Amino acid sequence: MKREELNDLLILIGRLGGEILVVGSQAILAAVPEERLPPEATASVEVDVTFLDGDEEKSDIVDGALGEYSRYHEEHDVYAQGVGLNTAKLPEGWRQRLVRFEGLPDEVVAYAPEPHDLAAAKAIAGREKDATYVLSLIAAGILDPNTLSERLAHMPEGVPPEMIAMVQGQIAHLRFGDGDTATEPRS
């Protein structure tokens, strides 16, 4: 999904009122310009959205009007999926680190988790596509492995500790490899 396509969806969703929270992979577009992102980061044709007030009725409306197989999806080849506020398991303090989407009309207020918070949520989801997404952002120098590991240490209750430990082990392997020195993220 391109940033322009995401903006179009956010403007339509903004008509429902309230503060939008983008929690899927396309949330990275709030913090990182599209041209800096690896292809894996913008490969999805869907954007997962919720509302900071937790109003799930709005999420249901998003699904019906802009969701998969909707008329919008058929006409634009992208769609929005309304999800619950607790769908993404984000690290403690995520609300204080939210990144606002710039370039939208003043009446549309949309946020995304800070990239490391987003990556932590994606990493513990345990899906191959999420692992590919996170690894591509690390390889592109967009994520700092140390910061990501720190965020993983502060995941909410209910996230299996063994999942967190496994992901932190994978990050450590990336940092140190097979005896190599730690890799430094590129700016």
**List of residues 6+ apart from 38 with CB closer than 8 A:** 136, 137, 139, 140
For position 28, what pLDDT does the model report? 97
Domain boundaries, the chain: 3-176
What pLDDT digit, counting tens, does each position of 56-81 carry? 999 999 999 999 999 999 999 999 99
- Strands 20-22 and 99-100 come out as unpaired
The answer to whether the predicted template modeling score (pTM) of the entire model surpasses 0.75 is yes
Residues in the chain: 187
Classified as helix, coil or strand, 16 is coil
Q: Report the range of poorest mean pLDDT among 20-24, 112-116, 173-177.
A: 173-177
CA distances (Å), 173 to each of 121, 124, 145, 167, in order? 19, 16, 10, 10
Q: Report the range of poorest mean pLDDT among 32-41, 55-64, 96-105, 176-185.
A: 176-185
CA distances (Å), 98 to each of 38, 95, 111, 113, 175, in order? 22, 5, 6, 5, 26
